[in-house]
Structure 1
Amino acid sequence: MLDNLPRGTITIEEIEMGMVRHLRKTITDEDIEMFARVSTDRNPVHMDADYASETIFEGRIAHGMLTAGLISAVIGEQLPGHGTIYMGQSLTFLGPVRPGDTVLAEVEVIGIDHAKRRVRLETRCTVDGKKVLIGEATVLAPSGKFD
């Protein structure tokens, strides 16, 4: 399940401090398997229920970067959106995401440098109101001006 949210672009001229955009996605076994195929990360904590049950997580978990990818989706599709260039991202993982969990991925504008078209974004993911990932991104926002 993925929220059916508007996609497009918010240009540097339109971005305001405190703007927030989000998406919700339920992580499935298929998502984890596809991410493993694409990334080639087949760590058994993600893929093998028996193995994972003996870890500190006591069961399978999604790849952290799969969860972080939802932040990228919000940035690339909503805020700022199409034409955005990702420049950097810090990530701190606070808790596991399990198959069947619905992740709320949010970005919030916390800094704007209009002259350089750079935007700082607080990034976070939650499951059932509990933070599982926090960080900060810097992006180059598209402009509506054509020189």
Structure 2
Amino acid sequence: MPTKLDINTFSIEQAIEVNNTVSKEDVHLFAQVTGDTNPVHLDDDYAATTSFGKTIAHGMLTAGFISAAIGTKLPGPGCIYLEQSLKFRAPVFIGDSVTTRITVSDINTRRKRLTLKTECIVNDKVVVNGEAVIMIPS
């Protein structure tokens, strides 16, 4: 059984990083699960005609790495996701290694809320960033 979360164990600037490499299978499974079959993600010939020049991962697949890091690492199992803002800054390609960084930026002990800076980075370039608000249950 996971350890129960305690709002008092977190600190400002506390951070974690998680690495994932995007595979073609990941993109195809994401398309299958969500129904997002946009050819820019799935069709090499079509994607070659776009400004990207090749297929790209779904932005929300990349954002899913943020959700996974929050739910498993910081704050971790048992937390409740309340809000997430996202800005998609650059494409993520098949084979890219994505570093997801989660950083505590605010702690509201009375309401048991953490505000988190969320980022996905490829080759030192931020490809997705935003902010999440997480509730730590009693």
- Alignment TM class, shorter chain as reference: over 0.9
Counterpart in the other structure of 1:95: 90
In structure 2, C-alpha distance between the alignment counterparts of 1:16 and 1:99, rounded to whole Å: 35
2:32 is the alignment partner of 1:41: no
In structure 2, C-alpha distance between the alignment counterparts of 1:99 and 1:50, rounded to whole Å: 15
Cα distance change of structure 1 residues 48 and 71 upon mapping to structure 2, 3 Å threshold: same
How does the TM-score come out when normalised to structure 1? 0.90
Counterpart in the other structure of 1:29: 24
Alignment map for 1:53-92 (pairs within 5 Å): 53-92=48-87
How does the TM-score come out when normalised to structure 2? 0.95
| SS in structure 2 at match of 1:132 | strand
- Please give the root-mean-square deviation of Cα atoms over the aligned residues, in Å: 1.3
1:105 CA displacement: 0.5
Unaligned runs of at least 5 residues, structure 2: none
Counterpart in the other structure of 2:107: 112
Cα distance change of structure 1 residues 10 and 23 upon mapping to structure 2, 3 Å threshold: farther
2:132 is the alignment partner of 1:134: no
Letter of the 1:98 partner, please give it: F
The C-alpha deviation readout for 1:91-138, integer Å capped at 9, x for no partner, is 000000000000000110000000110000000000011110010000
Query: Residues 5 and 78 of structure 2 are in contact (CA less than 8 Å); yes or no, is this contact kept in structure 1?
Result: no
Cα distance change of structure 1 residues 90 and 142 upon mapping to structure 2, 3 Å threshold: same
Percent identical: 45
In structure 2, C-alpha distance between the alignment counterparts of 1:121 and 1:9, rounded to whole Å: 19
In structure 2, C-alpha distance between the alignment counterparts of 1:8 and 1:124, rounded to whole Å: 26
Cα distance change of structure 1 residues 68 and 115 upon mapping to structure 2, 3 Å threshold: same
Cα distance change of structure 1 residues 8 and 31 upon mapping to structure 2, 3 Å threshold: farther
Matched residue count: 137
In structure 2, C-alpha distance between the alignment counterparts of 1:83 and 1:141, rounded to whole Å: 7
| SS in structure 1 at match of 2:9 | coil
Runs of at least 4 residues of structure 1 off by over 3 A?
A: 7-10
